[in-house]
């Protein structure tokens, strides 16, 4: 089998997921090629994977007509030349552009059109022009893909409503090779009562202060502004908890300014390679996102056995269940503050959350499970796929020569 992976601009989870799938397919004898932005290859090292080829295709993170048309033409040429059995695109934009490109790939008797699988990793923007564009992309993906895999149940419902004929769940494990980004994929030891001392941070905390940890891209989706508002409500705790938000992103300056306005002693240490150690030292891990799929960092928090407070959005409840996290509505600083304060002040609750997190971690998917699941889906869609073929020959001469009507041998 030959599989082409397509992805757009990515700085985190989507690229790491494709990296894992491409490596897993190649290790199992599947020919794998990745089409995506050159910067993504530089950041994640696709070209260094054994048995995987990377070819640059510049798919931007937002609609740009001329740029997108060039990407469609290039995807069409590459696909027509390599003739994969399956094209697996990741994200709505990459999926829609790939679907358009494949519509121009002419099948032959011996080389049918590839089957198209699209994994939807994120919810589309809610409104405005960008939201309207993404709703169009969503319909293109739903009506063109042979299979749509979604990272959460709410996305599955959206894609079925948009007309997708085959919808399933994408398994997105945190994995040991995810070296870039907040979740390292390296399991950390479960914390005990007091836990180890926190790793070195800018302006080291005073001894004995409980660590409230959050990590992820500093972007609107992650809801860190709400977390800062919540932190202002627990400053009367003694000792005052130390809030650490690890990660980088476009809102770094805004979040630091917000913390200063609120008078918070919050730390923003940027990218950290020692997230497992921070998790082991944390009294509570907080995921205040507006929306999530199957976040790597949450899986790492569960594996670390740290008490979790998270928002009830996207795929988060499916990961934690009702027992391995305190779940609150998104965008509600009061409810978020109350939940964190409950974990910090109730030892019985904290111990129950640690035990439930560790138990839940045993049920999380691993890389092998995710790769085998996607290979099974490729097998299914190639068997079910009914590509458009050239018009069949309609006559057979007495000598056995096949000819179209009016033709001659």
Q: What are phi and psi of 109, to 5 degrees?
A: -60, -35
The answer to whether residues 34 and 153 belong to one domain is yes
Structure tokens at 208: 């004995």
What would you report as the CA-atom Rg of the chain, rounded to the nearest whole angstrom? 24
- 372 and 286 housed in the same domain: no
Give the number of other Cβ atoms within 10 Å of residue 103's Cβ: 15
Distance CA 288, CA 296 (A): 14
Which residues partner with 90 through β-bridges? 7, 119
> Does residue 341 sit in the same domain as residue 375?
no
Residue 237, domain member (yes or no): yes
φ and ψ at 82, to 5 degrees? -90, -30
Q: What is the pLDDT of residues 180-219, one digit of tens each?
A: 333 333 333 334 344 455 577 765 555 689 999 999 999 9
Residue 36 maps to which CATH number?
A: 3.40.50.2000
372 with 356, same domain: the answer is no
Q: Assess contact for 257 and 280: CB atoms under 8 A.
A: no
Same domain, 164 and 239: no
Residue 246 is part of which domain span?
Answer: 211-361
Q: Cα–Cα distances in Å, from 62 out to 93, 97, 216?
A: 8, 12, 21
Q: Are residues 25 and 160 in the same domain?
A: yes
Q: How many domains does the chain have?
A: 2
Pair (263, 279) in one structural domain: yes
Structure tokens at 30: 């599947």
Alpha-carbon distance of 204 to 207, in angstroms, equals: 9
Whole-angstrom Cα distance, residue 248 to residue 271?
6
Q: Is the bond preceding residue 368 a cis peptide, omega within 30 degrees?
A: no
Q: Are residues 132 and 224 in the same domain?
A: no
CA–centroid distance for 360 within its chain = 20
390 and 352 part of one domain? no
386 and 356 belong to one structural domain: no
Contact 385, 146 (CB under 8 A): yes
Both tokens of residue 81? 């030349």
Final residue belonging to a domain, choices 361, 384, 403: 361
Local structure of residue 105 (DSSP, 8 states): S
Q: Are residues 138 and 287 in the same domain?
A: no
Which pLDDT score is estimated for 386?
A: 59
At 141-157, the pLDDT tens digits run 999 999 999 999 999 99
44 Cβ neighbours under 8 A, 6+ residues apart: 15, 16, 19, 180
Asked whether the CA dihedral 79, 39, 88, 142 is positive or negative, the reply is negative
In a domain, 157, yes or no: yes
Whether 285 is in a domain gets the answer yes
What pLDDT sits at residue 193? 40
- Residue that finishes a domain, picked among 335, 361, 387: 361
Give the pLDDT of residue 125. 75
Q: Are 120 and 148 in contact (CB under 8 A)?
A: yes
DSSP assignment of 135-167: HHHHHHHHHH-SEEEESSHHHHHHHHHTT-SSE
Residue 6 and residue 155 in one domain: yes
User: What integer pLDDT is reported at residue 203 of this predicted model?
Assistant: 57
Separation between Cα atoms, residue 107 and residue 296, nearest integer Å: 39
- 309: part of which helix (H) or strand (E)? strand 308-311
**Tell me, what's the pLDDT at 275?**
93
Q: Residue 76, SS3?
A: helix
How many degrees, rounded to 5, is the angle at CA 248 between CA 245 and CA 249?
A: 115
How far is it, in rounded angstroms, from Cα 39 to Cα 9?
Answer: 8
pLDDT given for residue 133 in this prediction: 85
Mean pLDDT, the chain cut into blocks of 10 residues (409 residues total): 94 89 96 95 91 94 87 96 96 95 85 92 79 89 96 94 95 62 35 51 69 95 97 93 95 98 95 93 97 92 97 95 97 98 97 97 92 96 68 41 43
Distance, in Å, from the CA atom of 141 to the CA atom of 125, rounded to the nearest integer, reads 16
401 vs 409: CA distance, rounded Å: 6
């Amino acid at each position: 089998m030959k599989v082409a992976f397509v992805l757009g601009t990515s700085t985190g989870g989507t690229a790491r997921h494709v990296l894992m799938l491409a490596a897993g397919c190649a290790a199992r004898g599947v020919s794998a090629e990745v089409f995506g932005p050159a910067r993504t290859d530089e950041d994640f090292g696709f070209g260094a994977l054994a048995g995987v080829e990377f070819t640059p295709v510049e798919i931007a993170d937002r609609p740009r007509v001329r740029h997108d048309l060039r990407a469609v033409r290039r995807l069409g040429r590459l696909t027509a030349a390599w003739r994969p059995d399956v094209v697996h695109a990741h994200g709505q934009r990459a999926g829609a552009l790939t679907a358009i490109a494949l519509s121009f790939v002419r099948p032959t008797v011996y080389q049918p059109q590839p089957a198209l699988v699209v994994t939807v990793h994120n919810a589309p923007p809610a409104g405005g022009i960008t939201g309207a564009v993404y709703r169009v992309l969503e319909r293109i993906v739903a009506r063109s893909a042979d299979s749509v895999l979604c990272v959460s149940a709410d996305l599955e419902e959206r894609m079925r409503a948009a007309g997708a004929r085959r919808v399933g769940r994408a398994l997105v494990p945190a994995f040991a090779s995810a070296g870039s980004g907040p979740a390292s994929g390296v399991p950390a030891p479960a914390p005990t009562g007091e836990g180890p001392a926190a790793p070195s941070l800018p302006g080291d905390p005073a001894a004995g202060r409980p660590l409230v940890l959050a990590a992820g891209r500093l972007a609107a989706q992650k809801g860190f502004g709400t977390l800062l508002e919540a932190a202002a409500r627990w400053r009367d705790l003694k000792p005052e908890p130390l809030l650490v938000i690890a990660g980088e992103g476009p809102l770094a300056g805004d979040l630091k300014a917000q913390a200063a306005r609120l008078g918070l002693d919050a730390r923003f240490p940027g990218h950290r390679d020692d997230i497992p150690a921070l998790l082991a030292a944390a009294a509570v891990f907080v995921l205040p996102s507006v929306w999530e799929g199957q976040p790597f960092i949450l899986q790492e928090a569960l594996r670390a056995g740290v008490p979790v407070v998270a928002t009830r959005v996207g795929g988060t409840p499916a990961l934690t269940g009702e027992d391995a996290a305190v779940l609150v509505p998104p965008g509600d600083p009061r409810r978020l503050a109350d939940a964190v304060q409950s974990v910090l002040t109730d030892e019985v609750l904290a111990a129950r959350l640690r035990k439930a997190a560790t138990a839940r971690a045993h049920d999380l998917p691993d890389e092998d499970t995710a790769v085998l699941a996607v290979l099974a889906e490729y097998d299914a869609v190639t068997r079910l796929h009914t590509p458009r073929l050239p018009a069949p020959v309609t006559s057979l001469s007495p000598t056995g020569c096949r000819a179209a009507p009016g033709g001659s041998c």
